[in-house]
Amino acid sequence: MEAPNHPLLSVHLSNRTSVFVDGENAYYAQRSLGWFFDPRKLLDFFTQGATIGDAFWYASQKMPPDPREQRFYGYLNHAGYTVRMKSIKYFRDEASGELTRKANLDLELAIDLFTTIAQYDTAVLVTGDGDFERAVELLRSYGKRVIVASTQETIARELRNAVGKHFFDLAGIRPFIERFVAPSTEMIKEEIVL
């Protein structure tokens, strides 16, 4: 399916675009939507008619690494992303005894936004994290166009305000980015029997 001629994307004709995906935040956005997007389709949607500067995916990694996650990260590489990973660390709250996991890659994403700034005219951030409010403001002050893709339910108010009209609700572009899983052989056999 060809991506629509959306007004926010129509200026890409001689544009250099880089995509930065906050993997953890994108995962929770997809869970809230009830469906998952295909990383390759997402990249294609936001870079249609543009020269791709870079594409980064920021991901947490279990220790020892989960083979399913490893396959997914391999797919991301094949789809055109540079994958930045950080091992998950676990912390126990002294008072409650609750175990919390943390693998914050916000700093890595911000560093890449600014160290690759000469390679793009438009930055697409797939996140709803309010911590990126100031980064968006700074990029815009440098004359960069910033698009944020998230959901209405998971985007922080501060980030939504900073990006203004350059917000894409993932629900609105579902037909162009949704991941479809081919039915397994067992599912086909069950359907034939029924």
**Cα–chain-centroid distance for residue 70?**
18
The span from the CA of 116 to the CA of 184, in Å, is 41
pTM of the model: 0.82
The span from the CA of 66 to the CA of 68, in Å, is 5
Q: Return the CATH architecture of domain 10-193.
A: 3-Layer(aba) Sandwich (3.40)
Q: pLDDT tens for residues 117-176?
A: 999 999 999 999 999 999 999 999 999 999 999 999 999 999 999 999 999 999 999 999
128 to 3, 49, 100, 191: CA distances (angstroms) = 23, 25, 21, 39
Residue 105 near residue 133 (C-beta atoms within 8 A): no
Q: pLDDT tens for residues 37-67?
A: 999 999 999 999 899 999 999 998 877 778 8
Per-residue b/e over 52-70, b at no fewer than 16 CB within 10 Å?
bbbbbbbbbbeeeeeeeee
What are the structural domain ranges in the chain? 10-193
Which residue bears the tokens 């880089």?
Answer: 18
